[in-house]
Structure formats: structure tokens, C-alpha cells
Amino acid sequence: MALVIADRVRETTSVVGTGTATLLGAVTGYQTFSVIGNANTTYYCIAGQGNSEWEVGLGTYASSGTTLARTTVLASSNAGALVNFSAGTKDVFVTYPSEKSVNLDAAGLLTAPAGLGTGIPTFLATPSSANLAAAVTDETGSGALVFGTAPTLDTAVITATGSTAALRITNTGTGNSLLVEDSANPDSTPFVVDNAGNVGVGTTAPYTKIEVVGGAISIGTGGTASNLGIEILPTQDAIPAAQTRGYIATGNSTIGVAGDLLIAPRTNTTASIRFITGSVPSERMRLDASGNLGLAVTPSAWGTNRSVLEVGKPSVTSVTSSFSSGSALDLTYNGYFDGTNWKYKGSYFATKYSSDVGQHQWSIAPSGTAGAAITFTQAMTLDASGNLGVGTTSPGSKLDVKGTLRLSGSSSGYVGLAPAAAAGSTTYTLPSADGSSGQVLSTNGTGTLSWASGASIANDTTTATFEYPLFAAATSGTPTTLYTSNAKYLYKPSTGELQAPTVNSTNGIIVNSQIMTTSQTIAAGTSGFTVGPFSIASGAVLTIQSGARHVII
């Protein structure tokens, strides 16, 4: 739309009221408004024939219907406002309003329209830096070019074709360098550039180089919500329920607490957050919509009842804790440390793995209440020497089990080994190889075990007595003969024969036609008997004390 002024353009109209004037055709000897061109503007005057109604302004011509819209009124018989025309024919023609005219005065200087400033004609007649400085004034008369004290502009266009700045503003004062308002002055949410170069949108006092108050910063590919790639929002409450773009926001009552930083992809999809690094940008980490984290790998489609850290890069996977004096690595289930105590996260059992002071420690705790203190029991320890303790925190050997060691059968049952409650400190050393069939382990008294034949027992004349016979004459199977330690008594299982060479002074038994070669005494309160012939050798005496008996069969 352009402003067009043409000569000898005059038509009539019968417009009534304040609406658009319909043009009724050219007056004889004049042109129609068609020379202005469709949708262009021109300065017009409408004057009533035979009355005092008139109006001068800026109008917009339309070839369809041949009308002239009374766009802006500059002067009128109605005190400068739209005239409510009465019925009757009016003349309408192109004019040159006096307040828009520019002309030379009697001195040959340009006469500026009202509000243009008195320095402009002088500068145009005699261009100089001094005259330019006088021509450039603010609305108070001392600083910037103005058109009136409060000009109204439909469109302002600055076109530059050189290599320097199209618009340069130098501010050495304390006020803003640029202020753009969208409402009456003062606007509490304008666009400003202050004297320090800070840009504020929605604020008159930006705190940082760019500060946006009361709205979001959007980065996208188009002007619609669905085309926005990401938004930076002041609070999470400002996010629509059906979020169609990613966002960065601060937390509040909806998610987190005030001051939290929230980073999210589009919430109405299964989008994830990805972390890219490297000179050749590559994905290094991904947090998917289910809350599973993949490190150097895309998280698999895990079940919804799991929270997963999945690590890629096969062959070597490392999880480490940076070293500092007194530091440790803890992996816990249903537990957290509040700075003083371990506490239950939820009302359930708790477990903890720790790597501390050169040890690996596995601890357990019974079911507890959320928020209550946890008392962990260190169930297993692998110390810095490579000793593994089960039920003990100070293992003394490669495997140290406090309590019963149980070996379960492959299908059922078990074999258990248990020490005494107050066990002695003994270490048994096993033989280097297996023994022969029927052999048993025997100790040397200092913990060294060896294989020995279990059925062969040597005679021991220093401790055995007649009453305590020992096996002999066999190393396996059923022994054929039972001897005492001095071989004085014998029993043959195959025949049932029992032999005794002499009377036993304790029980008085003499059997099987034996000859008593030495003196014997059957003590009081005991009985003796003889089976078969019984002889007493010369010089031997059999004494039967009072209260004793001797029976010969």
C-alpha cells in the first residue's frame, strides 16, 4: 500500500454518517479515483454541497465497489474528528493538507510541518555538523529527531546497503538505550536495552545480558507450538499438560521444589534425553521415557517393574569412586545415609555393599520402617589379604566360616561340619594324596593327618589289662582271633572257644584244662570257676579268700 497524490481527481458521493464513501463518478473535467490505484492511500477532502460539513484526511481507495475508506482524519468541521454526514450530495477530491505541506519561506528556507523541529530547514539549506546537531532533537528539544512529541507511525523501515551498522545508538547516560512498548507509557513489560547492554523482555531492569520475565524462550522451526523444538520456562507450572516440545524449567509444587532444574523432552511421546560428546559428536548416555539410564548403550525394553542402569562397551565395564582420604564406595538397596545414620528408604529389607579400607563388605538388615535407622550386620567380608569371612569381619584364612559349614547334596540332603562352641585353635594338615581302601585318617597330635590301617592294633603291655582284650591277627574283614594285650586270653569266633592260661586274680576264671603255674588269689567277694581238668603246678598256691568262691566244672 502506497501513498499516491494525483492532480484533478474529483467525484461525488452521497455518504451518510461516518462510514466508507461510495464514489459516484467523476465530475466533468476531472479524473476518477481509479488513478490512485487499488488499496493505495491518498489525501482526500469531502465537502457537503450547500452546507458547512467538511473533512480532510488520509483515505484508502478500493476499486471493488469504487469506495474510499476514511482511514485517518486530519482536520474536519467536527473538531478534527470523523464527521457524521447528513443526507445529500458531497464533493470528494484529492487534496494536499496544509499540515503535511513542505515549502520555502521568503528567505528561501524550508518551512517544516508542525512538530518537525526548527533545525531541519536550516540543516537542509546549509548542511553542516553544527546544523545537524541542532536539527536532531528529542521531544524536549535536546537530543533526538522526532515528528511531534508523540508520533504515531504505521510502519517504520530502515534500509541499509553499506557495510556499517544500519542503526547505531550511543548512550553515555544512565537511561535505557532502547525501549519498545506495546501499551501506553509506562509499559511494565517492555523490551529494553539498558545502558550496560543488558536485554530485557518483559522487564524494565534486566539483571543479566538477556532476561525474560513472564514468558518462555522458544527455539524451533516455525511459529506454531508443534514446531517449537525446545522451550526455556520460568517455572514448571507454565508447562501445558500435553507438552509438544522439550523444555528446561525450574521446579516448584508440581515437580520438585523451587530452585530445581528440570530438563525434559516432549512429554506426549516416548522421547528420551540424550547426551552427546566428542570431537566427532556421538551419543554417550541416554535416559529413556521409562527412567532407565543407558551408558554408552541404548537401554533395552526392560519391564516396568525395574529401574535400570545399563552399561555398554563390551569387554571392559568400570564403575569407580574417586579416591580421597576416608572415602568409600557404597551400593545400597532400600537405604540412604543422612549424614549421621543409615536409614530405610521404604518399609522393607535393606542390603549394602561397601568397598572401604581395602575390604569388600556385604551387609544385611531385617525389614524396617521408612525413615527409621538401619542396623546393618556385616554378613561377609573379603579383606585386603584375600581372605573371605562368612559370619566374621576378621577372616583368619582364605575361607573363614563362623558356625556350621554345610554341603548340600545335588538332589537332597546335606552334610554339615560344625566346630565346638568354644573351639580350640587347631589347624589340620591333610595328606598330600589319597590313602588305600579301609585306611583312616590319624593325627600325630600336632594337627598333621596321615592315612593309617584301622583294623590292626598293636599289643600294648604297658596299659592293657586282662579284662580289656584287643583285636589282632586281622587287618580287614572279620578277625579270627581276639587277644588281650599280653595274649593270655583268646577267643576264636569261628568255634566259640575261650582260653585262659591262668587264674585271673580279679575274677578267678581258669578254663580249658589249664595249669596254674603261678600263685593266684580269688579275692573276697568274687568267684572263680574252672572248666575241665585243672592242675596246680609245683610251688604254686591258689588262695580263696573268705567270702570268695571257686567252682570247678
**Full DSSP string of 289-315:** TTS-EEESSPPP---TT---EEE-STT
Beta partners for 343? 336, 373
- The total number of residues shown for the chain amounts to 553
Kindly provide the residue ranges of all beta strands, DSSP E only, lying in 484-548, ordered along the sequence: 490-492, 497-499, 509-510, 515-516, 520-522, 527-530, 535-536, 542-544
Residue 56 and residue 16 in contact, taking contact as beta carbons nearer than 8 Å: no
Q: How far apart are CA 126 and CA 478, in angstroms?
A: 147
- What are the cell numbers at 539? 610251688
Residue 68 and residue 33 in contact, taking contact as beta carbons nearer than 8 Å: yes
Beta partners for 64? none
Output the DSSP codes for 321-337.
----TT--EEEEESEEE
Place of cell 515549502: 103
What pTM, to 2 d.p., does this model score? 0.47
Tell me whether the omega of the peptide bond preceding residue 186 falls within 30 degrees of 0, making it cis. yes
Residue 288 and residue 307 in contact, taking contact as beta carbons nearer than 8 Å: no
- What are the cell numbers at 301? 525394553
Q: How far apart are CA 109 and CA 172, in angstroms?
A: 34
Output the DSSP codes for 380-423.
EEE-TTS-EEES-SS--SSEEESS-EEEE-SSS-EEEE---TT-
Q: How far apart are CA 359 and CA 136, in angstroms?
A: 82
Beta strands 217-220 and 228-232: pairing type?
antiparallel
Residue 238 and residue 249 in contact, taking contact as beta carbons nearer than 8 Å: yes
Quick one: which of 23, 11, 7, 37 has its CA closest to 93?
11
Q: How far apart are CA 362 and CA 353, in angstroms?
A: 5
Residue type, 247: Y
Question: pLDDT per position in the chain (553 positions), as tens?
Answer: 789 999 999 999 999 999 999 999 999 999 999 999 999 999 999 999 989 999 999 999 999 989 999 999 999 999 999 999 999 999 999 999 988 887 777 766 666 555 555 566 666 667 776 666 666 654 444 433 444 445 555 566 777 788 888 788 888 888 888 888 877 667 778 889 998 899 998 888 888 999 888 777 777 766 666 666 777 777 766 665 555 667 777 776 667 677 777 777 766 567 888 889 988 888 889 998 888 898 888 888 888 887 888 887 665 666 666 566 667 788 899 998 888 999 999 999 999 999 888 899 999 999 999 999 999 999 999 999 999 999 999 999 999 999 999 999 999 999 998 988 888 888 899 999 999 988 889 999 888 999 988 644 444 333 334 343 444 444 445 555 555 544 555 555 556 566 655 555 454 555 555 677 778 888 787 777 776 677 788 888 888 888 887 777 7
**Phi/psi of residue 51, nearest 5 degrees:** -145, -175
Q: How far apart are CA 81 and CA 95, in angstroms?
A: 18
Residue 366 and residue 349 in contact, taking contact as beta carbons nearer than 8 Å: yes
Distance of CA 169 to the CA centre of its chain: 47
Residue type, 107: A
With the CA atoms of 264, 268, 273 and 276 taken in that order, what torsion angle do they form, in degrees rounded to the nearest 10?
A: -110
